[in-house]
Amino acid sequence: MKTPHFEFHGTPLERARNGAVLGAIIATAFLLYVAGLYLLRGDGPFERLGTTVWGTIGMYYMLGLVAGPILGIVWPLRNSRAGSGLVVGLGGLIVYIVGLMTQQGSPLNWSLTDWGGPLTLGVLGFLLGFAFYRPPPKPAPPPEPTRLRTTWPEESDPDGLD
């Protein structure tokens, strides 16, 4: 079975914009999940985690709109094994930090133990990206040259095929 291949193309600004769009799309998918959970179970699951429905939705959009552009910019680094690990590790680190910011506030006020989770996920992401690296696909060959010529109906075929 062939796995799908996803790429961000263009300038860093275009990749950042596309990353933000993809982040918003993913956040919307999570919004649908949160809405369904709220409709089925009410505020209970959110109160147990010390958050609200709107806080959770806001966190998902913040994650998508922060992590998406950053990952879009560094996406071309995936062409090497170490670069692939860096992109995955950076993604895990950003997602964990932004998610934790909604619970703990500014990272500038965090203790060393608060940083343990994001750094662990970043290192684990780097190792997984490094271990599961796949080289990029080979570019498609250029198209065969064509020899199309246009002639008027009253002209003879220059190749003599008429």
Are 52 and 46 within 8 A, CB to CB? yes
Residue 1, pLDDT above cutoff 60? no
Residue 155, pLDDT above cutoff 90? no
Q: What pLDDT digit, counting tens, does each position of 39-56 carry?
A: 999 988 888 877 888 988
Phi and psi at 120, nearest 5°, equal -65, -45
Q: Kind and range of the H or E element at 140?
A: none
**Taking the complete model, does pTM exceed 0.85, yes or no?**
no
> Which residue has better confidence, 5 or 115?
115
Residue 105, pLDDT above cutoff 80? no
